[in-house]
Amino acid sequence: MSDLKLTTTEVITTLYNLILNKATRTWEREQLMTTKKALEQENDLAVESAKLEAVLRPLAVRHNLTPDVADFYAQLTNQPQESFDLSRFYQVDQPYEERAIFAGGCFWCMVEPFETRPGIIMVVSGYTGGTVVDPTYDQVATQTTGHVEAVEIIFDNRVVNYADLVAIFWQITDPTDAGGQINDRGQQYRPVIFVQNQKQRQIAEDSKERLIASKRYQKPIVTTIEAATTFWPAENYHQQFYKKNRQRYQRIENARRQYLALQHLRSKFRLVWQRLGRHFKK
């Protein structure tokens, strides 16, 4: 492990906050408390940090630490991840700015397809649609909060319009899967378009009707259109995951793309056969 670029006081403060963090798991909390007590007894920072890093490592390499503890582990190993700046998210939008909220499986795969488009100001991963205030990732994963993983997009409507974003959403999700998305199973992954106003609702509903009428899918379209409720930004670890953990993201995204590509190809073949069948019946 490289030399830790934090002071003892900074580490103790961080440990204290992580111990109080409701998202921290019991086992993690026990390890953090052990290190905190050792440092408060003026034990060597480098030695205690190395011990903590070693005990957390098995979970860290499997990406199984809770998000805030994972961020701290990155600091322990001198691979700090910059905190995601949410200040823009809380600012009042300009007259030419709008917001869109989409849920389509794991939010890790929902950011890049939108963020890389012209006119997109910000994409935030988070939770919405449920009843629990300021939920954590672990809480949402229990499927008891009513929340789904989603992204909230701030966009410049002079460059890109809401209908364009809805069209992208249909391309990157499976609208026939109400139990999740591809490999992401559970109600927290169900596909939803959350609308901010009547204009967005009309655009989304018209788009959905056109998709149904196209007969592109053999199964029913189950993506719901619901009124937007409070959107809770997810932990720092989850923000812009496609940039922070590029290799892991690419493995997940490649599997997702292959599934959707095969689904779209089957749909095209089915439509072609239907047209040919009608032609030969004439």
Residues designated catalytic: 106
Alpha-carbon span 153 to 102, nearest angstrom = 8
DSSP bridge pairs for 99: 154
Q: Is 103 left (phi over 0), alpha (psi -120 to 50) or beta?
A: beta
User: H-helix or E-strand containing 226?
Assistant: strand 224-227
Angle between helices 45-61 and 67-76 (to 10 degrees): 130
**CA 59 to CA 62: how far, in whole Å?**
5
Residue 9's SS3 state is helix
Residues 35/14, Cβ–Cβ less than 8 Å: no
One-letter amino acid identity for 205? E
H/E run at residue 38: helix 26-40
Of residues 151, 132, 153, the one with CA closest to residue 143: 132
143: which residues sit within 8 A by CB, 6+ positions away?
Answer: 186, 187, 188
Long-range Cβ contacts of 71-79 (<8 Å, 24+ apart): 71/236, 71/237, 72/14, 72/18, 75/4, 75/5, 75/6, 75/14, 76/1, 76/4, 76/49, 76/52, 77/1, 77/2, 77/53, 78/1, 78/2, 78/3, 78/4, 78/5
